[in-house]
Amino acid sequence: MNKKKEVKVKVGLSGPPPMKSGFQYVNPGQEDQMEISGYRPSLIRKVIVWFFIIITAGLLRLFFYWLPHLFIKFTHTECSLSEAKVVILKDQYKQWFVSKVKVHSKSGQPAGGVKKDEVMGIAFSKNPYDSNTPLKMGDTKLNRKFVRYFITKKIKYIWSNESQTFKKLEGLDKNTKCSYFHACKGLTYPQQQERVAMFGSNSIQIHVTPIIRILFKEVLSPFYIFQMFSCGIWFADEYYYYASCIVVISVVSISATIYQTRKMQRALRNTIESSTIVSRLHGEDFVDVCSDDLVPGDIISIPRNGCVMQCDAVLLTGNCIVNESMLTGESVPVTKTPLPNPKISKSRGEDILFNLKEHSKHVLFCGTNILQTRFYGSQQVKAVVLRTGFSTAKGELVRSIMHPKPVDFKFNRDTYIFVAILAAIAGVGFIYTVVIMVEEHEAFVDIFLRSMDLITIAVPPALPAALTIGIVFAQRRLKRGQIYCISPRSINVSGTINAVCFDKTGTLTEDGLDMQSVVPVQDGRFAEEVQDIKQLSSDQRLLLNAMTTCHSLTIINGVLSGDPLDLIMFNATEWELEEPGEEEASRYDMIVPTIVRPQGARNGKGTFDQQFVPITEEIAIMRQFTFASSLQRMSVITRKLGATNFELFSKGAPEMIASLSKPETLPSNFHEVLIEYTKKGYRVLALAHRSLPAKLKYAKIQRIQREQVERNLTFLGFLVLENRLKPETTPIIHQLLEANIRTIMVTGDNMLTALSVARECGMVGENQKIILVQAFPGTTGKNDPWLEYMYTEDPQDHHQKSTKETKIAMPDSTDSNYHFALDGRSWAIIRKHFPLTLQKICVRGTVFARMSPDQKSQLIEVLQELGYFVGMCGDGANDCGALKAAHAGISLSEAEASVASPFTSKQPNIECVPTLIRQGRAALVTSFGIFKYMACYSLTQFVSVLILYWIFANLTDFEFLYIDLFLLTSLSVTFGYTNAYDKLSKDPPLVSLFSVAPVLSILLHMLIQTAAQVFCYFNVQDQPWFVPYEVNEDDDYTSYENMAVFVISMYQYVTLAIIFSKGRPYRKTIFTNYLFIANLVVCIGMNLWLNIYPIEDVATFFELKVPPSIPYRLIYLGIAAINFFVDYLIETFIIDSYFVKERLQCWIEDIFSNSKYQYEIVEEEIVRDSSWPNISSAESLAQAFERLDSQQARDFDQSSLLSSLLDSASETQSIRSLRSVEMETSHRDFNGKPALNTGASNTSNNFYGDIDDESQLIADDLDKGVDNLAMDLDEQGPDVNSQKL
C-alpha cells in the first residue's frame, strides 16, 4: 500500500487569531483583539540599562527608540494589570503599542498616590438585562473617587474590578436596554461634567505634528541613521563630494517629507474636524451649546432643515431623511425612524438590549447629512447621544486612516529577508577586507574605514524609497482612470487577486430598472401580462394603488427622491405625490399625511362635490414600515379619500409576500410563473393588499406593530422590471475568466434572477451546468440537517440526501464542469452543520443569492481561508463589510474616496476591476524589477570594490557619485513609469522573492557581471602600455585597474536596468516609456563619452586614467555588448522559460516546502471524487423552491422572531405585550403543506393564522383607552425602574 504523501497546506488568514492560554487580552474575539501585559518601574533594571546606553554612546537607546516595547521590558518588571503603571499591547498584526496607565478623579483632575481600594472600576454585570453600561452605573456602582485608564489608538480603556482587566470605554451602544433611551430626561450639569471627564471632548481632533518632532522622527529612522553612518564613513574616507551630495539629497528629502506630512495632516484635519451649535436638553428647555460639549446620554434636538451629525445618536421621535454617502458611498436618501419604546411591556423578555447593527435604521451616524426631519405639530425631533469623538462611526473611520491595517504581503516580508542576506554578504566582504589589510599591516583606522565602506555599498540605503516608485506611479495612473485609493499599500496586493466577488444590482446590472409589466391576479389566477399600467381594469385597481403608495419616496428641494426602483414604479403610474406644507420649513406643522393622486386630477377643482362625495381619487399614506433586508419587504398603511377604513399594501420578495398571503389568493402556478420571468433575468417583486377593520383608529395605526398587520394578505400580482446588464459587464467577465480569475456573484436578489444574470454575463458558460445546493434544517429530535443537489435546468437523476458531511457517498457520476449556486438560508445551515462541504461549495460556487451583508463578509472570509486573494466590487451600501474584508475592495461611488473600501471608482461599472488588477500587477512586477536591480547594483558595486581592494585601490569620489546619483537614481525612478499591459495574462505574477526565477536571475546575472569585471581587470594588465597601481599616501586611485573596473561596470548598470525592466505580459514594452528611453539614451551617451573619448578635464575630474589606445577603448564597448546579450538571453530564454517558472519551481516546492493552497487541495478532492455531488431530480425546480420554503418555515427560531418583532416596529413609540403572540401559535397549510416562509421574522402566518383579524387588532388595550393614550405617549416618560426587568 502506498502511503499518501503529506502536503503542507497554505491557509489564508481572516479575523482575530485564537487566544492563547496564559495571556490576557483586551477586546477578546473582536477585530481589534490585542494581547496586554502590565509592567511597573524597576530602579535596578533602569540603572543597568542606562549604564549600557552610556557605554554604547547612545546606540542602545536608539535601538530602544525603534522598539519601545523592549525598552519597557528591560527597564520595568512584569506585574499584574491591577498594579501596572505601563501596559504593552500587541495586536494581531504583530504591532506593538506602549501606553501609560493614568489615574484621575471623577472630575477629571490628575491624581497621584492613590490607594488601590480608592480606584474606581467598571462593574460589568453578567445579567444581560441589567444596566451595565458605564454611564448608567450611577453613584451606587461608581462610588469610588478615582478612575484608572490608558489610551491607545485614540480609544480609552477603563479598569474593570470584576474581570481584573481593562475594557474599552463604551458609550450607550453596548449593554443598554431600549427602554433606557425613552427614560432619558437629559443630564444635570454635574452629570455632564463627570461624563466629559470620562469620555472627553466630542471632537475628532487631528493634530498637526510640530516640525521639530517630525524632523527628529525622520532623522532617527533606520534609513536615515544608516545614511548618517554611511556619510560619516565617507567623510572620514575623504569622499567629500559624494558624501556632501548625499547629505544635500537627504536634507531635501526630509524637508519634502515634513512638508507632505504636515500638508496631509492639515488636509485631513480640515476635512474631518468640524463643530457646530446644537440644541441640548437641559432641565425642561433646549439650550444651544457647542457640539464639542456633547456627551453620551445627552438629548439633542435635530433641526427641521437638517444638519451634519456631530455624534452618533439614536432617534427617539420623528423621522429623519439622511444622506449616508460618507459612510456607505451611496447617496440615495435613507429614512431613519424612531427606536421602538417597550415601556408598556410588563415582562423582562420584552425589553431587549440595544444592538447598533440591528437597530441601525434608528441611528443617526456622525458625519452623515440630515436632509430633512419630520414630525407632527411643534414637537421636537429628539435623539439621545450614543457615542462621541473617536468612538463614533466617523471616528472609527478616521482611526482606520490614522492606524491602517498593515498589508501582510509576502513580497514585503521577503524584502527584509533579502536585505539580511545582503548584509550577510557584506559581512563576508568585511572579513575579506580585514584579512587582506591585516596581512599588509594596514593601520586600524584604514581597516575600519575600508571594511565599513564595504557594508555601506552592499546594503543599498535607497531600497525602501525605490520600492515605492512603482506604487506611486500606479496610484497616479489609477487616479487618471478615476479610481481613487486611500491605501496605496493595497495596490501591490491587488496584483495577486485570483477571485473577484461582484454584487449584482448596480454593479453587474444597471442602477435603474425599466418597467416591463405587471402580472395581476384575478379570481385566484394570473391574468394576462399588462405592459401599459393605464390599461389595468377597475377590478385590478388595488394593484395600481399598491404601486402608487408602497414606496419610500419623498420630495427634497422640490425633486422627487428615493430608491431608484420606487421612482421607476411610481413614475410608471403617472400619478403625482404631494407632501403637506408649501415650504420645506412648514411642511410638518400639521398632522397631514403624504398624498398621491393621478396627475392633473384636480385641475383647480375641489376635493369633494356638494354632496361631499370625492371627485378625485386621492390616497393618503398614513404609516410606512420601511424596507428591511432581513424582512425582505416594506409596507404602508393608507386611506383612500372618503373611505371608512385603512388599507395595507405590501411589496417585497415574491417568496416573502407569498408566505404572508392567504393561500387561497395565491395562483396554483405561482412558482412556475415566477421562474418563467426570473429565468429571463427580470427582477420580480410581489404586491399584496389587506383591508384593515373600520374600528381601527388613527392612533392605533401609529402604534401598531407591522407583524400584526403584515399577514393574511390578499396577493395582487407581480411587478416585473427589466434589470439590464451594463454593456461593460459581459466583456469584463470574459476578460477575467480568460485570465483564470474566478468570478463570483454574491447578491441579495432572487436566486433565479441571479442564475439568469450569471449565464447572460458569462460567469457560467453555455455548456456548463449549475447545481443548486439546498440545505434543510431538519426538525428538533427527529431529522438531522441534510443537503440536496439538483440541476437548475436539466434535473433527471434520482436523489439522495446526505446527513454526514465527511461521508458523502453518492453513486451517480457528475460532469466535472459545473458550478454551485445556493442562497443565504442554505448558506447559514451549511456553515453551521457542514463546514467541510462549505469549502467544496466555495471552491466551485459561482452564484450566491439572497445573501445578507453579514453573509457576504462570511463568504469573503471563507475564500480567504481557502487561500484565495479576493477582490470585491460593490456599490458600497450593503457591501461595506465585504468591501473591507476583501484583499482589495472597490466601491462604485461618485465620491473621490469612500471610507467603505480601499479603492473607489467613479466609473459606475466593473471596468475598474481589470484596470486595478492590471495596474496592481504592473506595480508588483515593477517592485520585483526594482528590487532585483537594486540588489544587483549593490552586488555589482560590491564586486568592483572587492576587486580593487585586492590592490588597495577603490573607486574615486566622483565615480561613486556618477554611478549612484546619475545612473542609479535616474534609472530607478524612470524604471517604474512604464504603464500596465493592456491585457490580463493567464498567469499571475510571482509574489515571493524566493521563488526560483528571481533567485536564479540574480545569481546568474551576478555571475556574468563578476566574470566581465574580472576579465577586464586582468585583460588591462596584459596591455603593453599598462602601468600597475601603486599605493600612495594621498589615496589617489587613478589607475588602469580602476579604469577597467569602472568603465565596464557603468555599462552593466544600464544593462541591468534594461534587462529587469520587463514588458509583457504585465507591463507595456519599455519603448512606450519615453522618459526611460530618454534616460537610457543620455546614460549610454555619457558612458560612451567617458569610455571612448573623454576630454582631459573630464578625465581629471573623474580621476580616470584613459588608455592611450582608442581601439582598446572600443573593446570595452564590445564586452558591454556581449554582456548585454548574454544577460538578455539568460533572462528571456532561461529565467522566463516554462521549465524554470513552472517545472523547476514545482520541483523545488515539492522537495522543500511541499505546500499547496487549501483551495487547490479541495479542487483535487472534487476531481477525484466523481460520485460527488449526487444529483436529485425527483421534482421540478418550482416544487423544490416551494418545498424548501415550507421546510424552513417549520424550524423557525422564536428568539429571532421576538427580536424581529421588537425591531421592526420602526415608527412606534410603544410595544405591546408579546405573551399573547407566543401563545397564539398555529400553522397554516398551503396546498397541504406548511406555509411558505423565508426566515424567523417571516412566521406571522404560523403565529396569527387562526386568530380573527378584527378581534386581534382592535381588542388589544381597548380597556386602557389606547386611542387616547397614544396621542400623549411622546410627552410622557416611562418609569423604567418600576418595570419588572
Helix axes 912-949, 410-439, angle to 10 degrees: 10
Please list, in sequence order, all residues whose beta carbon lies within 8 angstroms of the beta carbon of residue 690, skipping any fewer than 6 positions away.
647, 648, 650, 709, 711, 712, 713, 714
Q: Whole-angstrom Cα distance, residue 1091 to residue 1083?
A: 12
Joined grid coordinates for residue 257: 517629507
Q: With the C-alpha atoms ordered 1173, 1174, 1177, 1182, is the resulting torsion angle positive or negative?
A: negative
Please list, in sequence order, all residues whose beta carbon lies within 8 angstroms of the beta carbon of residue 312, skipping any fewer than 6 positions away.
171, 173, 363, 364, 365, 366, 385, 386, 387, 388, 391, 392, 393
Q: Whole-angstrom Cα distance, residue 851 to residue 1231?
A: 28
Joined grid coordinates for residue 547: 404601486
Q: Whole-angstrom Cα distance, residue 1016 to residue 183?
A: 90
For residue 261, give Cα distances in angstroms to 158, 192, 428, 973.
Answer: 32, 37, 39, 21
Residue 325 contacts residue 880 (beta carbons within 8 Å): no
Say if residue 1107 is preceded by a cis peptide, omega within 30 of 0.
no
Identify residue 67 by its one-letter amino acid code: L
Cell 443548486 maps to which residue?
Answer: 772
Give the single-character DSSP code of 583: S
Q: Whole-angstrom Cα distance, residue 353 to residue 564?
A: 34
Q: With the C-alpha atoms ordered 141, 144, 150, 156, is the resulting torsion angle positive or negative?
A: positive
Nearest to 41 by CA among 75, 81, 80: 75
Q: Whole-angstrom Cα distance, residue 512 to residue 556?
A: 20
Beta-strand pair 1233-1234/1229-1230: antiparallel
Cell 383608529 maps to which residue?
Answer: 697
Range 792-820 burial, b when 16+ CB lie within 10 A, else e = beebebebbbbeebeebebebebeeebbb
Which segments of 799-852 are extended strands (E)?
818-823, 845-849
Q: Whole-angstrom Cα distance, residue 136 to residue 120?
A: 14
Beta-strand pair 369-374/786-791: unpaired
Nearest to 466 by CA among 936, 998, 63, 1077: 936
| Active-site residue, 503 included | yes
Q: SS3 helix, strand, coil % of the chain, rounded to 5? A: 45, 20, 35
Residue 69 contacts residue 96 (beta carbons within 8 Å): yes
Using only C-alpha atoms, the chain has a radius of gyration, in whole angstroms, of 36
Joined grid coordinates for residue 277: 451649535
Residue 707 contacts residue 1208 (beta carbons within 8 Å): yes
Q: Whole-angstrom Cα distance, residue 707 to residue 1224?
A: 13
Which of 91, 503, 957, 1274 is an active site residue? 503
CB atoms closer than 10 angstroms to residue 1212: 23
Helix axes 1074-1092, 1040-1060, angle to 10 degrees: 160
Residues with catalytic function:
503
